[in-house]
Amino acid sequence: MQGMEDRGPLGHDGRNLALLIVLALVLGIYLAIVNPCISRDGVLYINMARTLSHDPLRTAQTYPAGYPFLLHAAHWVGVLFGAGDTPMAWVIPSLAVTLLLRLLALIPLYLLSRMLVGARRGFWAVLILIVLPYPAHNGSDVLREWPFLFFLALGVWLTFLAFRRRQWWLFGLIGLDAGLGYLIRPECAQLVVYALIGLAVVLVTLRSQCPPEPRLCARALVGAAVLLLLGFAIPAAPYVTWAGLPTARKLDPPEFNRAPVIASVGGRSVHYEPLQFEVAAGALLEMPIEAFDPDGNAMTYSVVAAPVGTRPVYRLRLSGTGDSLWTISDRQKSLLLTRYRPGVWEYDGIAGYVYAEPNATEGLLPVYGFWSPVLNRHFYTLSESERKAVVQGEPQNQWQSEGVAFYAFGEARPLADAIAVYRFRDRAGERTWAIEGDGDLVREAFAWYAHAGSAPPAGLTVDGNLVRWRPRPDQRGIHQLNLIVDDGHLQSGQLVQIEVGDTRPMHAGVLAADGPGRLAAFVHVANLIFRSISDNLMQYFLAPLCIGFWYRLRREAGAYERALMIAIVSVNILLMLGRYLWIQPVVSSRYSLGLVALTIAYVPVGLDVIAQWLARFTSGHGAQASGERALQRRWFCLLLAIGVGVCVPKLLSPGDDKDRALLAAARWLRHNTTADEVIAAADRRIGFYAERTQVPYEQSVDLREVDHIVTVSRSDEPDAVASGWVPVFSIPFRSDGESRLMILRRP
């Protein structure tokens, strides 16, 4: 039936490709126009392309140079037609070359889909890929995903073609394509793996035949493997000799240690708020802590009891100045320890337990925090009069208010489990906050009281990653515990509140049978990868893809297709897993684009299967086969139309309001500042579009070297604006009006 359908209106490859490319071109131009600015990574790629002309080796040694080289070449073509060195003179050619490679990538993707599932299904598969919002937006931005996908799709199509036609010389082209794609993204070397797996399948097939084919065939397979490796080495070997191994350097463990990741406690996902459990007195409560360490360090588990409503306060020290930072924010702690080079901030552990809300208990006072970018120091005070003195009496711009850091107790209310924090001065007169001072510090004043934390309730035990507790009748009430996972360097914790009463016990969680942390790592990363694939497919097309993949490989595919497609899925998932573990613990929709594009042919197969099920269900018993096929086609068209309808609103939606605000701020800076002025901003696109020197706006920046600050001020965080700086430009940052993008000028 598939062959008959392929002779219909969608059986002409030239017409199909022309329709698909025109549709992709129109959508690509539309998206490039309605999106106000390129992504942050796009600015990074353009900046690297700019450096190629005067320092190509440095660029190649820090990042694969293939995509920056394409952008540099596109800009050079623009210069021939009169373009200059303005941002738009770089953006427009970069968008053009990226969109061109997306259009070119559709050709091997269509030919691959046609080869696997026929012309009709191949056409619908590529059409679906074109209208998927996330892949479409990536193709209309300055990103390397589609240039990489062009080489990847071309190589996979050539691999299937070589096996189908038994033309072993094509392996030289496959290797050459993989080597060129390696310069865009080193992951393109996976083509070599697929080709070698296919050759192994052929070799096994030859040996299983009776009588076997002549020995010449085995020699031909060896020759194909040699051609494959030689073709890959032609572009890749000179590049590696010149610039080194970007893959090895990228996969090196990070220079900083990362904190353990807690995925769940008692079968419940972690949360900023304490997790709630209930247990009856005398019943057994079991809470397995599912956690893993990104760096592979051994972990220990412990439990600390703390008053209900408290949170752990972390203490960090700034190595250069000895400054101390006290924070109850896990996110701030992680950012400081991973954003800066190793040794800048040192982790001193949990200093005690304080409160995040003023009404959590009686007698709480706010601890105000200040930051001085001039002195690179923090200042904390429990005194309202001292807070006003810092704001009004210190030199202008020296201290910036950070609002209330947390809530603690004053000197008038000592606690039974109190930790007294004091303010000290060193010999240079600089202040620091600590529980105890050393010989070089002089105690200046009392700061605040915090809870010390205590031993867990009687009867509670920690066995590996499993917390067990059978509370006694006299332990009724609410108990708050901090479950701590320690890798020997950093700690992560999750607060839980256990209510002990007379109700029926709740058994929490499932014991991990494969060792501490393994199940957590698998579930956590697998969920991120699944969400990445699902987002690319707009959730709607995920089920047809899975059904079509299963149906095709089980009933229709040959040995080569089964082996290669299983290898493609496995390798891409392992690449996403490796990137998460060794490069950055993030899984974006961009990282699964290659997997989605190479398996998109199975979406129409799945839609056909679902349509067939619906046709059988809705048609009466005894219906003729021709009528059932016509009903199946109608169901297929309806399912496809619903899927396209799901994609279109997000696909055609205009750009983000935040991007328009960034462009407006950059435009103001370009027209109202001089070329030698320096801007502090968190988003690198500000300096790029404004054509001004930009430094990151963060706590370590020296504001004495900055002329303008670009920051986001929220209505509920008035102290976030740099103190003393003069607002000169303001624009809504979000459509809800809760925040504004502001430009501040040096007073």
- Domains by residue range for the chain, with CATH: 1-143 (no CATH), 147-250 (no CATH), 310-451 (no CATH), 657-745 (3.40.190)
CA distances from 720 to 82, 314, 599, 723, 730 (A): 44, 21, 47, 8, 15
At 254 the three-state DSSP class reads coil
Paired residues of 421 in beta bridges: 448
Q: Supply the pLDDT for residue 577.
A: 85
Confidence band, pLDDT 50/70/90 cuts, at residue 104: very high
Torsion angle, CA of 316/318/321/324, rounded to 10 degrees? -20
Give the rounded distance of the alpha carbon of 26 from its chain centre.
29
Residues 685, 38 contacting (CB under 8 angstroms): yes
Question: Distance between CA 476 and CA 714 in Å, rounded?
Answer: 43
pLDDT of residue 395: 62
β partners of residue 476: none
With a CB cutoff of 8 Å and minimum separation 6, the contacts of 462 are 301, 302, 303, 468
The 3-state DSSP composition of the chain as helix, strand, coil percent (nearest 5) reads: 50, 20, 30
Burial 359-396 (b: 16+ CB within 10 A, else e): eeeeebbbbbbbbbbeebbbbbbbeeeebeebbeeeee
**pLDDT value of residue 698:** 61
Say what the pLDDT of residue 253 is.
43
Lowest mean pLDDT among 244-248, 353-357, 383-387, 682-686: 244-248
H or E, element range at 672: helix 657-672
Asked if residues 367 and 405 have their Cβ atoms less than 8 Å apart, the reply is yes
Q: If pLDDT is split at 50, 70 and 90, which confidence band does 719 have?
A: very low
d(CA 556, CA 601): 13
pLDDT of residue 484: 94
Position 242 scores a pLDDT of 85
Asked whether 658 and 686 are in contact (CB, 8 A), the reply is no
Cis peptide preceding 260, ω within 30 of 0: no
Q: Which two tokens stand for residue 437?
A: 């001072």
Q: Which range scores top for mean pLDDT: 82-96, 147-161, 447-461, 695-709? A: 147-161
Q: At 706, is the secondary structure helix, strand, or coil?
A: coil
Which one-letter amino acid corresponds to residue 257? N
CB 359 within 8 A of CB 443: no
Tokens of 628: 């059932």
Q: Residue 427 and residue 593: Cα distance in Å, rounded?
A: 58
Residue 57: what pLDDT?
76
Q: What pLDDT is recorded for position 521?
A: 60
Cβ atoms within 10 A of the Cβ of 285, count? 22
H helix or E strand, kind and range, residue 70? helix 66-80
Structure confidence at residue 733 as a pLDDT band (50, 70, 90): confident
For residue 210, the model assigns a pLDDT of 56
Burial of residue 192, with CB atoms counted within 10 A of its CB: 0-12 exposed, 13-18 middle, 19 or more buried = buried
Report pLDDT digits (tens) over 176-230: 999 999 999 999 999 999 999 999 988 887 766 655 555 447 788 889 999 999 9
Contact of 464 with 286, CB cutoff 8 Å: no
Higher pLDDT, 210 or 654: 654
Contact between residue 444 and residue 433 where contact means Cβ atoms under 8 Å apart: no
Model confidence band, residue 621 (pLDDT cutoffs 50, 70, 90):
low
Contact 506, 287 (CB under 8 A): no
620 exposed, middle or buried (CB, 10 Å; 0-12, 13-18, 19+)?
exposed
- Summarize the confidence of residues 132-148 as an average pLDDT: 94
Q: Phi, psi (5° rounding) for residue 197? A: -65, -45
What pLDDT does residue 269 have?
A: 75
Amino acid of residue 173 = L
Whole-angstrom distance, CA of residue 232 vs CA of residue 180: 8
Stretch 484-510: mean pLDDT: 76
Helix (H), strand (E) at residue 597: helix 593-598
Q: Report whether 94 contacts 142 (CB < 8 A).
A: yes
What pTM was computed for the model?
0.70
**What are 527-548's pLDDT values in tens digits?**
888 999 999 999 999 999 999 9
**What percent of the chain is predicted at pLDDT more than 70?**
86
The answer to whether residue 5 scores a pLDDT higher than 80 is: no
> Of 248-257, 415-424, 506-515, which has the strongest mean pLDDT?
415-424
Task: Please list, in sequence order, all residues whose beta carbon lies within 8 angstroms of the beta carbon of residue 139, skipping any fewer than 6 positions away.
Answer: 24, 28, 31, 98, 99, 102, 145, 146
